[in-house]
Chains A and B, each alone.
Chain A
Amino acid sequence: MTETVAAPPPVSPPPSVSLPPAVPTRRTGVRRTAVTAALLAPAGLTVGALVLVPLALVLRNSFATADPYGGIQGGFTLANYHELLDPVYLKVFGYSLGMAALNSVVCLVLGYMVSYYLVGRPPRRQGLLLLLIIVPFWTDFLVRTFAWINLLSPGGPVNALTDALGLTHGPTEWIPSQGASFVGLVYAFLPTAIFPVYASLRGVDPALGEAARDLGCGWWRVHTRVLLPLARPGLLAAALLTFVPTLGVFVIPVLLGGGKHQLIGNLIVTLYTEFRNQPMGAAASVVLLALMIVSLAVFGAAAGRLRRAQRKGGTS
């Protein structure tokens, strides 16, 4: 069970081939190329068969016409894309972008706070706490979402807590709701946000925070003037890793949100399965893919600018 739809798996660079350092004569050069090709073939074929071919099919289908029985008639038309401009669909795209942005912001804030706490612990404690974050991250996505159904159920643990605090009185229905759906999203992507921020904060010399205090920074300005700017690469990576995948989520809005407020992922599933309109589903998938590529490009440009600024020593 995967949690996202149509997100191409990141293609890892092929393992570099290390051969004994032979004098590159013409013949060994040829042999080397052959060996490299042979070693790359399994990965290449897998990526080709499981990523590129399906993507090409989706792309082709997005320009096809649907037949009334759920099949594909072929042909070439832009009608599917045109139909996606309908406010009903545009609302889903807008809502998805908004949810993804909100989720990224919340995950970034929480992720920074958790990371800041983590790097201040003794090394051994840090390892243990990180493990506590990693274990749920490794647990199946669906299982974790079902766990939230239990946690948030009427009379469940969260309900008991809010009762005890006097916030609620008796069993309360929280599922389905947008709130529950959002809690699920934050929970799902928080570890992904913590790791890169933690990694960049851990590389910051603790003396820098002390130097900032020594030079007159109170608690808040130690963060805004020194630690946050230094954590920027991690924050950027975390934003990318939460924003882009959130666009494709479809399990959480169904299980915790009741499917009322759809994300693009849900829309695609609905178009394929309920509407039995494969070309429309394909067109929505292509749009999702395009949104992801644009987001990646934006984040990539931001990261590039950050790197250049840091090489220059960043004049403010």
Chain B
Amino acid sequence: MTVSPTQTTVPAVRLSGVGKSFGSTHAVRDVTLDIRPNEFFSILGPSGCGKTTLMRMITGFEEPTEGAIELGGVPAGGVPAHKRDLNMLFQSYALFPHLSVHDNVAFELKVRKSHPKQAIAEAVRDALALVRLEGYGDRAISQLSGGQRQRVAIARALIGRPSLLLLDEPLGALDKKLRAEMQLELKKIQREVGVTFVTVTHDQEEALTMSDRIAVMHDGRVVQVGTPEDIYERPATRFVAEFIGTSNFLTGKSDGAVLTVDGLGTVPLPADAFTGEAHLAVRPEHVRISSGDPAPPPERASLPATLQSVVYLGSATRYHLALADGGPFIAETHGTGPAGLTAGGPVLAHWDPQASRLLAE
């Protein structure tokens, strides 16, 4: 019998029971998670959820009040920010306005005195090439556009080849088109340099498209860690289902097979359903609507509703419904949906129970 080799990879970041309180307010509570080397990891949550504080503890700008942080297997407690083998991409870019592009990018190498002069010039050239800003070295920061500034900030943060790059809302200050472009570019740069990227963001779309794994934070806690697909398709809590994308919720009592909702009757549940008080989350794209004739197949969950409005989105059509108890329900179909439905008329909303998800909280 062979023993499988034990997993010996040291996590890039290991947080064990990390908490931070400012006076009586707890910004971060009991966060335990591992970030693997070379992964693109996102910490996702609404503003005020503690994600920025968590990141500042990893950089060393704040010390945790509870728990411990390890960077590359080495305890980081008491190690000041300037001695940690990681860099940060600031939301405001924090480029030094008194220095040229070249001197901004060269800053770390000059401060750490790790390279001779000639090597610094070469490293700056390479770093600027990485972000496609060759020949911009002599420019002043004030002469650059927002997108160019961000590229300079990336070059500056990566020139010292840190093991870890933390990105604070990296795309927040860019306009929509540039944002989409940078999402792909960041991913490409990350693969090219082989550095662990940890981004902090409140933008779920950004997190879903760029990340290998995501930690969703709520109220200072990490409520779920997983791949983008895990998080979207199998949310752990009602908060995650609501925060990532859009969900319809039905609240009631589960007996393991059906959910009884006051005023609406019963709907069938997915196979792994538990019993007790629960929320059923149904993604709008899994909901179909019909006039009720012919009736949907009996294995599908269905609820009668009133069609309130139809929103044409180009690639999709969204239907806003009101259930019998007045609660809102949304259905979304690709392209144009079934014809002959009029606002104000009765419809039937139906979905595959296996595509819905039962949540305890």
Binding site for B on A (CB under 8 A): 205, 207-208, 210-218, 221, 225-226, 229-230, 310-316
Contact = CB atoms under 8 A, between A and B. Distances in A.
Contacts of B142: 311, 313
Interface in B87-109: 87-88, 90-92, 94-103, 107-108
B102 A207 contact: no
A221 B97 contact: no
A226 B96 contact: yes
B98 A211 contact: no
Given A216-B160, A225-B111, A229-B98, 19 more contacts: A205-B92, A207-B90, A210-B61, A210-B90, A211-B94, A211-B95, A212-B96, A213-B80, A214-B59, A214-B87, A215-B111, A216-B82, A216-B112, A217-B111, A218-B80, A226-B96, A230-B97, A311-B142, A316-B103
B192 interface: no
B123 to A, nearest CB: 14
A210 B111 contact: no
Given A216-B108, A316-B99, A205 B82 contact: no
B141 interface: yes
B303 interface: no
B117 interface: no
A210 B94 contact: yes
A313 B60 CA distance: 30
B92 A207 contact: yes
B258 to A, nearest CB: 54
A235 to B, nearest CB: 13
Interface string B52-64: 0000000111000
25 contacts: A205-B92, A207-B91, A207-B94, A210-B59, A210-B61, A210-B90, A211-B88, A211-B94, A212-B96, A212-B107, A213-B61, A214-B88, A215-B108, A215-B160, A216-B108, A221-B111, A230-B97, A313-B99, A313-B139, A313-B141, A313-B142, A314-B98, A314-B99, A315-B103, A316-B103
A314 B80 CA distance: 29
Nearest to B56: A210
B100 A205 contact: no
A312 B140 contact: yes
Nearest to A315: B100
B86 to A, nearest CB: 8
A313 B143 contact: yes
Contact of B140 (A207, A211, A311): A311
Nearest to A211: B94
B111 A216 contact: yes
Given A315-B100, A315-B102, A213 B82 contact: yes
Interface string B157-182: 00010000000000000000000000
B223 interface: no
A314 B100 contact: yes
A168 B87 CA distance: 52
Contacts of B29: none
A219 B61 CA distance: 13
Contacts of A207: 90-92, 94
Contacts of A226: 96, 98
Question: Counting chain A CB atoms within 10 Å of each CB, which of B95, B97, B138, B142 scores highest?
Answer: B97
Contacts of B160: 215-216
Contacts of A217: 82, 111
A310 B142 CA distance: 10
A18 B142 CA distance: 34
B329 to A, nearest CB: 44
A211 B99 contact: no
A33 B64 CA distance: 68
A310 B60 CA distance: 31
The 8 closest A-B pairs by CB, nearest first: A313-B140, A211-B94, A207-B94, A215-B108, A216-B111, A313-B100, A213-B81, A216-B112
A208 B111 contact: no
A213 B60 CA distance: 10
A80 to B, nearest CB: 47
Contacts of B102: 315
Interface string B67-96: 000000000000011100001101110111
A200 B332 CA distance: 54
Contacts of B108: 215-216
A215 B98 contact: no
Contacts of B96: 208, 211-212, 226, 230
Contacts of A211: 88, 90, 94-96
Contacts of B141: 313
A249 B81 CA distance: 47
Contacts of B103: 314-316
B361 to A, nearest CB: 36
Contacts of B59: 210, 214
B99 A218 contact: no
Nearest to B168: A207
Contacts of A214: 59, 81-82, 87-88
A206 to B, nearest CB: 9
Contacts of B97: 230, 310, 313
A215 B100 contact: no
A215 B113 CA distance: 12
Contact of B87 (A208, A215, A225, A313): A215
Nearest to B84: A214
A230 B141 CA distance: 14
A229 B142 CA distance: 16
Contacts of A315: 100, 102-103, 138
Contacts of B61: 210, 213
A208 B143 contact: no
Contact of A208 (B82, B94, B101, B156): B94
